[in-house]
Homo-oligomer: A and B are copies of this chain.
Amino acid sequence: MLRPVHCVVPFKSSGCKTRLSSALSGEQRWQLAVAMLRDVLRTLRSIGMVTVLARPGMREDIIADLDATLRFSELELGDALNGFIDENTAAGWPADILIVMADLPLIREEDVLEMIRTPGGVVLAPGRGGGTNMILIRDSRFRTRYKGLSFAKHKREAEELGIEAGYCYSYRAGCDIDEPGDLIEILLHTNGESRALLERFGLRILESDGRGRLDQTQSNE
């Protein structure tokens, strides 16, 4: 039997995804951030309770149809997540906590299930470039360290606490969308709202010199 899981998805609603600015306008980046969040929430629906940790001011209606609880916090990502873990601990740990980044439009239910089936007091799913894109916390002593290159820090945190860490290496969970080159992954390997949006923006993959690059045809936005 799998233990109950409470999914937590932190979402930054302002100044988001600035590293995509050479490919997308501010309004387009915001729309993509929302579409990616919605793709992630749709995947998590079957897994357990889902809470979105957002900054005050985010419009609730953008995810109203996706069975997630919206919760506002002024805190930085790491502090907001650790506050959530504190509360879960104080409440007697009713469910394990699965932290999932909001910019993982490639993930599928099978990726999340693989995470949940991996043993360990904490399970880490690396992101490309040294990040941690999902964390499953079963041991209430663990706290996140989401500043900078977090994968090595989370590994060390588990070691220092004597918590056995499991690792879940997943292509799709490893693909956080930060830079223009990452958008190709959405076009090639997904079929949800994020991809539909990029196609609506007129983005498509062109080949030049045997390498792929993004091309933007006349947008109808």
Binds B, one of A23-31, A45-53, A192-200, A207-215: A207-215
Contacts of A137-152 to chain B: CB distance below 8 A: 147-149, 151-152
With beta carbons under 8 angstroms apart, the residue of B129, B148, B169 that contacts A170 is B169
Q: Per-position contact with B for A50-66: 1 when CB-CB < 8 Å, else 0?
A: 00000000000000000
Q: Which residues of A contact B (CB under 8 A)?
A: 126, 128-130, 147-149, 151-152, 169-175, 181, 184-185, 188-189, 205, 207, 210-212
Given A128-B128, A128-B175, A148-B207, 8 more A-B residue pairs with CB atoms under 8 Å apart are: A126-B171, A126-B188, A129-B181, A129-B211, A129-B212, A130-B184, A171-B171, A174-B174
Copy count, this protein chain: 2
* CB nearest neighbor in B for A171: B169
* CB nearest neighbor in B for A210: B148
